[in-house]
Structures are given as structure tokens and as C-alpha cells.
């Protein structure tokens, strides 16, 4: 088996790839074994996301995980993928004001050695992004459909929503983000933002208008029974894992395991 020998992926690496028109591979995962697999396969960017609540802990929303859980999992991911660019999701209520945001983002940087933190929201989080970047913390902005708050202050009509979305992206850039994340924004809006952006765009489900497409690691490996409409399973490890475990159970029942 050939293992990919990855060089350290830092912001300069990302910017060079973007400048050269090369796409960057990106996934979301939450533990050491998965991170180890991802790095050996050549995944460049890993998001330790609050989606862990759904994919690992079985909750129906992402607000069930806090800083302690995410920091511990980010530590494990960093150990498994020492050369990947790792970003940590700031969970619900962890950046409710500037002081709290700096303290919690600092935990990600110092304790888990992540390369950047990711904040979800709209114009209301611009002052927090600015404070974090002023403190020397690399920030990735996440806007569009927000998993945490379910709303980000977009207008009611499609035209208003597009205008507000583009404004949020530009304000995030002014505040110092190193990249912007969003998912399933209408193609025409994604195209306009991609062409106007001054930072890398980490969009998923937006066609070609992204520097770094993303797929959750559990979805791409086929560990989930359901997938988002833009996700692709490259194998069916759920079925294979069940079958392997069934063989173990059968051998136990036959007395073959000593």
C-alpha cells in the first residue's frame, strides 16, 4: 500500500495552491484513527467540527457539544494528522462576546495546536472576528446556512439574501479571515462570490466555485446510512464493518475464538 508523504500544510501552502488554480482536499473528522487515515491518503485540510454531535455522538443537532469535547477531539486529530491544516469549530455560545471568544479560541490554538478556528454567523460576529485576528489567531468565517444559529440575518427575497450574503463575505475579509466556508449557496451567488473573493473559498455543494470542496469523512467512506445530496460515498464501510463483526460473532458462537 502506497502512503502519501504529506508536507506541512500551512496558510502559505494553501495560498500557493489557490494562486496556481489547484483544488485543496478537505474533510471533517473527529478522532485519531480517522485523522491518521486521512493524512496518509493525502487530505490537506481537516475540520474538527461540531458536526461531531451528529456523526459521532448521535445527537440530532450540533449544539450538544462544547469546548471541552471539541478541544480533546482536536488534540486527537492533530496527533493523527500532524501535517494537515486543522481547523477547530467554535461551538455554540463559545464566542458570545469578545473575551469569551479569545479565551476559547486560545484553548484550541494552545491545547490542540490547531491552525485556525472557525466561527459561524453573519455581520454580528464581525467584531469578534476582528478581535481574534488582532490577537494573532487565524480565523475562518462560516456563513450562509448556519448549523448553530439557523439564521444569519439574510433578507427575505432571493435578491436580498444574495446581497446580504455577499456583504457578509466582504466584511469577513475586511475583519481578517484567512478563508470563508459555506455550503449549498445558489450557484449564481457562489460564482459571484468566488470571483470577488480576496481569500480562499472553502465551499461545498457549490459546483466548481470553490478552492476546497469538502466531504464529511464518514460520508465519503460510506459509514452513514444517509448522505447530504452533494455527498458521495467512495466505499460502503458501514456494510463491510457489519459483515466483519458478524463473522466475529459467529466464530465466538462456534467456540473458535480462544
pLDDT tens digits for 127-170? 999 999 999 999 999 998 555 554 566 767 888 889 999 999 99
pTM for the structure as a whole: 0.92
Q: What is the DSSP string of the chain?
A: -----PPP--HHHHHHHHHTT----EEE--SHHHHHHHHHHT--EEEE-TTHHHHTT--SSGGG--HHHHHHHHHHHHHH-TTSEEEEE--TTTTSSHHHHHHHHHHHHHHH--SEEEEE-SGGGHHHHHHHHHTT--EEEE-SS-TTTS-----SSHHHHHHHHHHHHHHHHHHT-SEEEEES--HHHHHHHHHH-SS-EEEESSTT--SS-EEEHHHHTT--SS--TT---S--HHHHHHHHHHHHHHHHHTT---
pLDDT above 80 (res 215): yes
Annotated binding site for Mg(2+): 50, 89, 120
Taking residues 240-249, what's their average pLDDT? 95
The percentage of residues in the chain with a pLDDT greater than 90, rounded to a whole number, is 81
**Binding-site residue positions:** 50-51, 89, 118, 120
Q: Report the mean per-residue pLDDT for the chain.
A: 92
Query: Residues annotated as binding site for 3-methyl-2-oxobutanoate?
Result: 50-51, 89, 118
Q: What is the CATH number of domain 11-221?
A: 3.20.20.60
Mean pLDDT score, 18-26:
97
| Residue pLDDT, tens place only, 90-114 | 999 999 999 999 999 999 999 999 9
Amino acid at each position: 500500500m502506497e502512503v502519501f508523504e504529506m508536507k506541512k500544510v500551512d496558510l502559505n501552502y494553501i495560498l500557493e495552491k489557490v494562486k496556481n488554480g489547484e483544488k485543496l482536499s478537505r474533510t471533517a473528522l473527529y478522532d485519531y484513527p480517522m485523522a491518521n487515515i486521512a493524512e496518509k491518503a493525502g487530505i490537506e485540510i481537516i475540520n474538527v467540527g461540531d458536526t461531531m454531535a451528529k456523526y459521532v455522538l448521535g445527537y440530532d443537532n450540533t449544539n450538544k457539544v462544547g469546548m471541552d469535547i471539541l478541544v480533546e477531539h482536536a488534540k486527537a486529530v492533530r496527533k493523527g494528522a500532524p501535517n494537515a491544516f486543522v481547523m477547530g469549530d467554535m461551538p455554540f455560545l463559545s464566542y458570545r462576546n469578545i473575551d469569551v471568544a479569545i479565551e476559547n479560541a486560545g484553548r484550541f490554538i494552545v491545547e490542540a495546536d490547531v491552525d485556525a478556528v472557525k466561527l459561524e454567523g453573519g455581520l454580528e460576529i464581525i467584531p469578534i472576528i476582528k478581535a481574534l485576528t488582532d490577537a494573532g489567531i487565524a480565523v475562518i468565517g462560516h456563513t450562509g446556512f448556519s448549523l448553530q444559529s439557523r439564521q444569519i440575518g439574510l433578507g427575505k427575497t432571493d435578491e436580498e439574501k444574495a446581497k446580504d450574503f455577499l456583504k457578509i463575505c466582504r466584511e469577513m475579509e475586511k475583519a481578517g479571515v484567512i478563508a470563508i466556508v459555506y455550503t449549498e449557496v445558489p450557484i449564481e451567488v457562489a460564482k459571484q462570490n468566488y470571483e470577488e473573493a480576496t481569500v480562499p473559498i472553502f465551499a461545498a455543494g457549490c459546483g466548481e466555485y470553490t478552492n476546497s470542496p469538502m466531504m464529511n469523512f464518514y460520508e465519503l467512506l460510506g459509514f452513514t446510512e444517509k448522505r447530504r445530496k452533494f455527498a458521495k460515498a467512495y466505499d460502503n464501510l458501514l456494510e463491510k464493518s457489519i459483515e466483519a463483526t458478524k463473522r466475529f460473532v459467529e466464530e465466538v458462537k462456534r467456540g473458535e475464538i480462544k
